[in-house]
Structure formats: structure tokens, C-alpha cells
């Protein structure tokens, strides 16, 4: 039986659909090996002393939240565990809601953490690189209030935070521009603040060269796999871990499809030569 | 009330997700409807968002509370209005001035930073002693990085015909580039599958409550 190209394509979509759906319904529990890049991010947070103030910038929107939201939740939980104070910012407008959702989820297990004392959401600011540059001079000028309109000087967490130099590390969870690269260019390369972060799998190969001897980036979380690695490091059974089964099955399936496609092309060539 | 709105939201999201997925079978009116609703809603959302989150707090509110103290804000406001002149064919030329200022300012701000981060720091990161690493694997990695960088850059040297030794160097460069393209493709597949997982997670979890 000879199938048309369109029919073949539909079969591939259907099989892929089922292959992704089944592990979501019936998790397998495969473990993922922790990469060096993820370990570097973990070490940075782990080795930062208690009560230090850190920035997690939510530079993405719901279109990439499958990959980046688990990273945000895991980093918040890790910073809370290490008793660090978190400032959430956003270079993307919808990042504000992403930050709120992440805090809401993590706070279910950390009832003692208080807004304004242990964490604060300063919200969105337009401008990308120029905004980060201004934060390097004066944070209050850029964010006069938090998202609940509390003035900067009335937020206890920000008492001793005037500029980027007062921050222990910056993490940008980024799905494009402005995002991780802008943070690295300004916060790391100009103000010497350690910058780490996460990005979608598509953009990960473009960021890996910045994890180098110069420590332009201190580690990198690239895509869902890195998010699940980070979850396993902090001992959290988060959404990335449960989704990695589906990811692995889909990858296996795609490898099989590539092999079948090649076999088909070789067979067709052979028939033609005969 | 919140619960009802939430339920309606989930059903609408599920409906539009299925409409978009229906394109995988073939182009159809459901897909077109979902696509156009998405484009229209996005445009409307951004317009409202820009007005209330950027224009009002950064311009209108400041001018309304302290006009003389913020009089300098009239300059970006005027430039913004000049940009809108693109809509009118006869006055289109006016928009070239704010565009020129924007391009010039962006280039000025970015040039030094990109030079430092993408050229100087990257070059410095490659200029290392490859044998100063702790493990043989790290030494091999350092050597590969240095060879890959030199050969990869050399592949783009077109001023001289590549033959003999230079051709061999260029060939090695192509191999490194191919490996990097392969890795990029792998990551792209991972990202696309993640998007599918996200939607299926929503359909099976939030909508159908099949995921515990």
C-alpha cells in the first residue's frame, strides 16, 4: 500500500501526539543526568550567603512558559531555601504575571515568606538594555514603586539596595530580546555582577559560548531538560520533571522517524537505479 | 463569579487550541477563525497595554502632576507623534527624523557593549592555555574549542582562494559548523516538542482533568 505524502505526515502527527500524551497521563519517572551548565547555576545560588539580595528577571510571556516557568519556580524555591531575598523584575510586560504565578506556587510550601521582606515584585519596565544601565546607577529611579504601588523606600527588603552593585546575582529567564544577553552585557560586563539564567531550548546554543573562562554567564539553563535537572538538584518534583518523560519519548520517536525517512529515500534510490 | 470566568476561560483556550491543531489535518475555517481572533486580540491587548503601562505612567501622569518639571518629556512625545506620520503618505517624510534618532541612539548605545561582550570578551575567552585544565577531558575540550574557533572563522575568509593547507583548515571549519548546526537543530526540536507538551498538558490537565 502506497501512502501519499500528506497521509504520511498526518500519521506522524498522530503518532507524535499519542507519544507525548501517554507519558503525561502515565509518567515513567526516567531520571536525567545533570549537566555542567546546570550545576554551575545551582552552585552560584547555593554558595551565595544568607540574606543577600538577588534579582530574578522574568523576561518572557506565556508562549514559552512551559520551558521557563519551571526554572523560575525552581530558582525561587532554591533562593528561599538558602534564605536569600528576591527582587523580581520583568523586561517583558507579561513577565509580571509570570513572576506572580511562580511566587504563588512556591509560597504554598513557604508560608513564612513575606512580600516586601523576603521577596518583592518590582514589575515591568520598558527599555531593555537602557533600563538595566539605569538600574546600575539607581534602582529607585527605575522602579519608584513595586507592582502594588508601595513606594521603594517603604519596602524593607530594598533598604540597603541602591544599585546593581548591591545585588549578589542576577538571573534572567529569557525567551528573546530584551533578556539574558542584555543583562549579561550590562550587569556582568559593565557592573561585574554575576549573571546566570535560563532560556528556551531554541536559543540555548547561541548562549553557550558565553559560559566561558570570562564567566560572562555563570552557567545556563537551556530548555525543559535543564529545568528538570535543576529541579532534581534542589529535590523538587516540579512540572519540568514530569514533562521530561514525554520529551524523551518524543525525541526517541523523532529519531525513529529520521531513520525510517532515510531508509525510504535509500530504498527509492535503489529501485530507481535498478 | 471568578470560578465561572475561569471555567469559561479554560474552555475557550481549549477550543482555540483544538482549532489551531486542526491545521495539522488541513487548512480549515476553524483554524482561520482562531488565527484571526489571535491576531486581533493580540493587537488590541498590546495597544491597551502600551497606553496604560507605558504612556500613562511615563508621560501623561507625569505631565499632569508636574508639567513644568517634566517639560522635557514633550520631546519624546513629539518624536512619537512624528513617527505616526507614516500613516499619511504625503507627510511620511516626517517620520524619518525620529527613526534616524532611534537608529543612531541604538547604534551608539549598543556598539561599545557589543564590541566588549561579543568580540573582546569572546576573544579573551578563547585565548587560554589549553593544557592548564584539571582533567584530560577538559584539555581535549579546550583544544577542540581553539581549533574549532580558528577553523570556523577561517572558513569565512574569502579573500584568497582556499586550496592546499588552507582548504584542509576550511574543511575542518565546515565540520565544526555542521556539528553546531546539528546541535542547534536538536535544541530546536526540543523546544518545539516542549510547546506541544505545554498544550497537551493544558488539554489533559486543566481542561479534561486527566492528569493527577
Domains and CATH numbers, chain A: 5-26+248-273 (no CATH), 36-237 (3.40.50)
The rounded distance, in Å, linking the Cα atoms of A12 and A3 is 12
Partner residues linked to A199 by β-bridges: A174, A222
Residue-level pLDDT at B148: 95
Query: What is the rounded (10 degree) CA torsion for A149, A155, A159, A163?
Result: -40
Closest residue on chain B to A184 (Cα): B117
Q: Are A121 and A147 in contact (CB under 8 A)?
A: yes
Q: Shortest CB distance from A214 goes to which of B26, B125, B188?
A: B125
Residue-level pLDDT at B163: 86
Residue-level pLDDT at B53: 85
What would the mean pLDDT of A162-190 be, rounded to a whole number?
96
At A237, the pLDDT band (50, 70, 90 cuts) reads confident
Residue A4 has pLDDT above 90, yes or no: no
Asked if A137 has any chain B CB less than 8 Å from its own CB, the reply is no
- Selected for mutation to probe chain B from A22, A126, A250 (highest B CB count within 10 Å) is A250
Residue-level pLDDT at B162: 83
Contacts of A247 in chain B (CB under 8 A): 190, 193-194, 197
Kindly tell me the burial class for residue A89, based on how many C-beta atoms sit within 10 Å of its own C-beta (0-12, 13-18, 19 or more): buried
Closest residue on chain B to A209 (Cα): B122
Q: Are A63 and B42 in contact (CB under 8 A)?
A: no
Residue B25 burial (CB count, 10 A): 13
Residue A151 burial (CB count, 10 A): 11
Angle at B6 between CA B5 and CA B10, to 5 degrees: 115
Contacts of B184 in chain A (CB under 8 A): 205
> What's the gap in Å between the CA of A51 and the closest CA on chain B?
30
The rounded distance, in Å, linking the Cα atoms of A59 and A180 is 8
Residue A1 has pLDDT above 80, yes or no: no
Asked if A245 has any chain B CB less than 8 Å from its own CB, the reply is no
Asked if A241 has any chain B CB less than 8 Å from its own CB, the reply is no
The backbone region for B198, taken as left when phi is positive above 0, alpha when psi lies in -120 to 50, beta otherwise, is alpha
Does the N-terminal peptide bond of residue A178 adopt cis geometry, omega within 30 degrees of 0? yes
The rounded distance, in Å, linking the Cα atoms of A187 and A194 is 8
Tell me which of B2 and A47 has the higher pLDDT: A47
Asked if A49 has any chain B CB less than 8 Å from its own CB, the reply is no
Q: Are A197 and A180 in contact (CB under 8 A)?
A: yes
Output phi, psi for B171, to 5 deg.
-60, -45
> What's the gap in Å between the CA of A78 and the closest CA on chain B?
23
Q: Shortest CB distance from B113 goes to which of A16, A186, A210?
A: A186
Q: How many residues does chain A have?
A: 274
Residue-level pLDDT at A31: 84
Which letter, b or e, does each residue of B112-132 get, where b requires 16 or more Cβ atoms within 10 Å of its Cβ? ebeeebbeebbeebbeeeeee
Assigned C-alpha cell, A91: 523586561
Q: Are A232 and A241 in contact (CB under 8 A)?
A: yes
Closest residue on chain A to B209 (Cα): A25
Residue-level pLDDT at A192: 96
Kindly tell me the burial class for residue A64, based on how many C-beta atoms sit within 10 Å of its own C-beta (0-12, 13-18, 19 or more): buried
Q: Do B124 and A185 touch (CB under 8 A)?
A: no
Give me the half-sphere count of Cα atoms (radius 13 Å) on the Cβ side of residue B73. Answer: 17
Q: Where are the domains of chain B?
A: 128-212
- Selected for mutation to probe chain B from A25, A66, A244, A257 (highest B CB count within 10 Å) is A66
Residue A10 has pLDDT above 90, yes or no: yes
Q: Could you tell me which of B106, B4, B128, B3 has the C-alpha nearest to residue A212? A: B128
Chain B residues interacting with chain A (CB cutoff of 8 angstroms): 24-26, 49, 53-54, 58, 109-110, 113-114, 116-117, 121-122, 124-125, 128, 180, 183-184, 187-191, 193-198, 200-201, 204-205, 210-211
Output phi, psi for A215, to 5 deg.
50, 45
Kindly tell me the burial class for residue A130, based on how many C-beta atoms sit within 10 Å of its own C-beta (0-12, 13-18, 19 or more): middle
* ipTM given for this complex: 0.89
> What's the gap in Å between the CA of B109 and the closest CA on chain A?
8
Please spell the DSSP secondary structure of B85-101, one letter per residue.
Answer: GGGSGGGGGGGHHHHHH
Assigned C-alpha cell, A86: 528576591
Which letter, b or e, does each residue of B133-144 get, where b requires 16 or more Cβ atoms within 10 Å of its Cβ? eeeeeeeeebee
> What's the gap in Å between the CA of A186 and the closest CA on chain B?
8
Q: Are B82 and B97 in contact (CB under 8 A)?
A: yes
Residue given cell 529541579 in the structure block: A231
* Per-residue pLDDT reduced to its tens digit, A48-96: 999 999 999 999 999 999 999 999 999 999 999 999 999 999 999 999 9
Q: Could you tell me which of A202, A177, A194, A189 has the C-alpha nearest to residue A59? A: A177
What would the mean pLDDT of A104-131 be, rounded to a whole number?
95
Residue given cell 474552555 in the structure block: B11
- What string of pLDDT tens digits covers the 212 residues of chain B? 778 999 999 999 999 999 999 999 999 999 999 999 999 999 999 999 889 988 998 899 999 999 999 999 999 999 999 999 999 999 999 999 999 999 999 999 889 999 999 999 999 999 999 999 889 999 999 999 999 999 999 999 888 888 889 999 999 999 999 999 999 999 999 999 999 999 999 999 999 999 87
What would the mean pLDDT of A205-228 be, rounded to a whole number?
96
Amino acid at each position: 500500500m502506497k501512502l501519499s505524502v500528506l497521509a504520511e505526515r498526518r500519521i506522524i502527527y498522530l503518532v507524535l501526539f499519542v507519544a507525548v500524551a501517554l507519558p503525561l497521563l502515565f509518567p515513567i519517572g526516567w531520571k536525567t543526568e545533570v549537566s555542567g551548565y546546570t550545576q554551575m547555576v545551582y552552585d552560584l545560588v547555593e554558595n551565595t550567603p544568607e540574606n543577600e539580595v538577588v534579582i530574578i528577571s522574568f523576561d518572557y510571556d506565556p508562549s514559552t512558559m512551559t520551558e521557563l516557568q519551571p526554572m523560575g519556580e525552581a530558582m525561587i524555591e532554591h533562593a528561599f531555601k538558602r534564605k536569600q531575598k528576591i527582587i523580581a523584575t520583568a523586561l517583558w510586560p507579561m513577565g509580571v504575571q509570570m513572576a506572580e504565578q511562580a511566587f504563588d506556587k512556591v509560597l504554598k510550601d513557604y508560608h513564612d515568606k513575606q512580600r516586601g521582606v523576603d521577596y518583592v515584585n518590582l514589575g515591568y519596565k520598558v527599555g531593555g538594555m537602557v533600563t538595566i544601565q539605569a538600574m546600575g546607577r539607581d534602582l529607585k529611579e527605575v522602579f519608584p514603586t513595586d507592582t502594588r504601588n508601595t513606594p521603594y523606600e517603604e519596602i524593607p527588603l530594598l533598604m540597603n539596595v541602591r544599585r546593581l552593585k548591591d545585588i549578589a546575582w542576577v538571573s534572567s529567564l529569557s525567551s528573546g530580546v530584551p533578556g539574558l544577553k542584555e543583562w549579561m552585557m550590562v550587569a556582568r560586563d559593565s557592573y561585574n555582577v554575576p549573571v546566570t539564567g535560563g532560556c528556551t531550548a531554541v536559543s540555548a546554543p547561541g548562549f553557550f559560548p558565553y559560559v566561558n573562562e570570562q564567566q560572562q554567564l555563570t552557567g545556563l539553563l537551556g530548555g525543559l531538560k535543564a529545568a528538570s535537572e535543576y529541579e532534581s538538584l534542589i529535590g523538587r518534583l516540579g512540572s519540568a520533571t514530569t514533562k521530561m518523560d514525554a520529551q524523551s519519548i518524543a525525541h526517541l520517536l523523532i529519531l525513529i522517524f529520521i531513520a525510517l525517512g532515510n531508509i525510504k529515500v535509500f530504498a527509492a534510490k535503489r529501485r530507481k537505479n535498478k | 463569579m471568578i470560578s465561572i470566568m475561569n471555567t469559561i476561560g479554560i474552555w475557550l483556550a481549549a477550543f482555540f487550541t483544538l482549532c489551531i491543531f486542526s491545521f495539522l489535518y488541513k487548512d480549515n475555517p476553524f483554524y482561520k477563525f482562531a488565527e484571526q481572533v489571535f491576531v486581533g486580540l493580540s493587537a488590541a491587548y498590546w495597544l491597551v497595554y502600551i497606553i496604560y503601562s507605558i504612556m500613562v505612567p511615563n508621560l501623561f501622569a507625569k505631565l499632569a502632576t508636574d508639567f513644568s518639571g517634566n517639560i522635557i518629556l514633550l520631546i519624546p512625545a513629539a518624536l512619537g507623534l512624528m513617527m505616526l506620520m507614516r500613516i499619511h503618505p504625503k507627510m511620511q517624510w516626517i517620520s524619518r527624523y525620529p527613526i534616524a534618532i532611534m537608529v543612531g541612539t541604538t547604534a551608539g548605545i549598543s556598539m561599545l557593549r557589543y564590541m566588549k561582550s561579543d568580540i573582546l570578551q569572546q576573544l579573551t575567552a578563547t585565548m587560554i592555555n589549553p593544557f592548564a585544565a584539571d582533567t584530560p577531558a577538559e584539555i581535549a575540550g579546550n583544544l577542540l574549542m581553539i581549533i574549532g574557533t580558528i577553523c570556523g572563522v577561517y572558513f569565512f575568509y574569502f579573500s584568497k582562494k582556499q586550496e592546499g593547507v588552507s582548504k584542509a583548515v576550511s574543511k575542518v571549519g565546515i565540520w565544526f559548523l555542521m556539528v553546531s548546526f546539528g546541535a542547534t537543530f536538536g535544541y530546536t526540536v526540543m523546544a518545539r516538542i516542549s510547546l506541544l507538551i505545554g498544550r497537551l498538558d493544558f488539554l489533559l490537565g486543566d481542561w479534561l482533568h486527566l492528569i493527577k
